[in-house]
Structure 1
Amino acid sequence: MARVLGALGADILQVTVLERESGRAVDDFTVSWPGKTTPAAVLERLSAVPGVRVEGVWPTREVPGSAPDYDLLLHVAGEPARGFATLVDALPGLCGGEWALALADGVVRHASLAAPLIFELAALPPRPASHVDGERRLMVLPVSGTAMNLVVARSEGPPFHRAELDRAARIVEVVARLAARYEPVSD
């Protein structure tokens, strides 16, 4: 893939291995593509590579090499009473999503800028899960010991992978511990 991306003029900024099993790997490439191009054009060019299946192409706001999760945790440690609100605002950027919200007892408690103010899920999972709801790919993250679930959504790209769920779940766990003494999570 590196040779193909290079031949197409892309600069690889970061590679993340999302899954690896039975001689198969799922890798997430962050690339800089010269000139104006669309995700559809990139998808078409990469899909022509023999032996490669492209799950999705979408723009990202993530800056490779930065540590936004650490920045988030430092911010929450400095202001733990706003822990979940801060987390909900940061999750779309951390997870390649478009919006996030905190849902407790069927009520949206916190919502990022593009999130709906009313949201329902038929069943809330007991552990972090990826879910496809029509055109949306959802990541549902229960907050241990509470009635709260965090939901992250994206409409482009593949469903959230296990590696993405695990990373987000760890961040949620740390924020929950920092914020637990300051913010009620259910009525």
Structure 2
Amino acid sequence: MLLRLRVSLPDRPGGLGQVAKALGALGADILQVTVLEREAGRAVDDFTVSWPGPVTASEARERLSAMPGVRVEGVWATKEVPGSAPDYDLLMHVAAEPARGFATLVDALPALCGAEWSLALTLADGAIRHASLAAPAEFFLPEPPPRAATMDSDKRRLMLLPVVAQGLHVVVAREEEGPMFHRAELERAARIVAVVAKLAARAGVTRKPD
């Protein structure tokens, strides 16, 4: 099965290699490594791995936490295909059909962000305008933040992305077993949302239903 592992480790020569060696000893095949952060003597990396046989997130966390100096910040299942470029694919689809830009965006964000679901709410009344698969039928956001932000809510990790020009607020959710969205993930998602908004605006797309 495919898993995403978020690991904090000492930022020193050989540190990444030690984690890779430990994962190999556990039978995991590393497919991709993404560096999210390097500061204060530590690095935060996301590993996408193929793990032989069924393994729960808690089992994987327990096995990895035995490594000296390493903190496991999250282990969760992923459908991400390592080496692909889903953000480029998304923008190509939006450019080809900007009238459905935000519906396409909401459908794509869970895979782009290693999340479970996404939806877009209208700023005026909080109604759900677009929703991905697995999104709840109802969702209440009491005080949408004025800028991109992350928060915990009802055992979910949320990424909140306002699109003021379109009168929308995009929400991306990761369930409790996954870590909080990292600021690098938030910045990437915010840039993607901004590009989609620009494409929609240039095409003259306003707040109209699909």
Map of 2:206 onto structure 1: 184
- State the match for 1:158 in structure 2: 179
Which residue identity lines up with residue 185 of structure 1 in the other structure? Answer: R
Code of the aligned partner of 2:207: V
Q: CA deviation at 1:183?
A: 2.8
Out of 154, 167, 180, which is 2:188 matched to?
167
Q: Aligned to 2:36, which of 10, 13, 18?
A: 18
Question: Could you tell me how far 1:185 is from its partner in structure 2?
Answer: 3.2
1:74 pairs with one of 92, 96, 101: 92
Structure 1: gaps of 5 or more residues: none
In the alignment, which residue of structure 2 is the partner of 1:41? 59
Q: Which of 142, 145, 148 is the equivalent residue of 2:162? A: 142
| 1:32 pairs with 2:53 | no
Aligned twin of 2:133 = 113
**Does the 8 Å CA contact 1:101/1:109 hold for their aligned counterparts?**
yes
Q: Name the stretch that deviates more: 116-125 or 88-97.
A: 116-125
Paired residue for 1:98? 116
Q: CA deviation at 1:27?
A: 0.8
Secondary structure at the counterpart of residue 31 of structure 2: strand
From 16, 25, 29, the counterpart of 1:7: 25
Q: Distance in 2 between matches of 1:35 and 1:114?
A: 25
8 Å contact 2:148–2:160 — kept in the other structure? yes
- Between the aligned partners of 2:204 and 2:90, the Cα distance in structure 1 is 17
Q: CA deviation at 1:36?
A: 2.5
Does the aligned pair in 2 maintain the 1:19–1:162 contact within 8 Å? Answer: no
Q: 1:186–1:160: structure 2 CA closer, same or farther, 3 Å change rule?
A: farther
Q: Percent identity?
A: 70
Q: Matches of 2:42 and 2:138 in 1, distance apart?
A: 40
The equivalent of 1:52 in structure 2 is 70
Where in structure 2 are there 5+ consecutive unaligned residues?
A: 1-18
The CA distance in 2 between the partners of 1:182 and 1:116, in whole Å, is: 30
Aligned partners of 1:138 and 1:182: how far apart in 2? 30
Q: How many residues align?
A: 187
SS of residue in 2 equivalent to 1:6: helix
Secondary structure at the counterpart of residue 56 of structure 1 = strand
- Root-mean-square deviation over aligned CA pairs: 1.5
> Which TM-score applies when normalising by structure 1?
0.94
Amino acid at match of 1:8: L
Give the Å deviation of 1:92.
0.7
Q: TM-score scaled by structure 2?
A: 0.84
Kept in 2: contact 1:146–1:186 (CA 8 A): no
> Is residue 119–residue 135 contact of structure 2 (8 Å, CA) maintained in 1?
yes
Instruction: Give the residue type in structure 1 aligned to 2:87.
Output: D
118-127 or 83-92, which moves further after superposition? 118-127
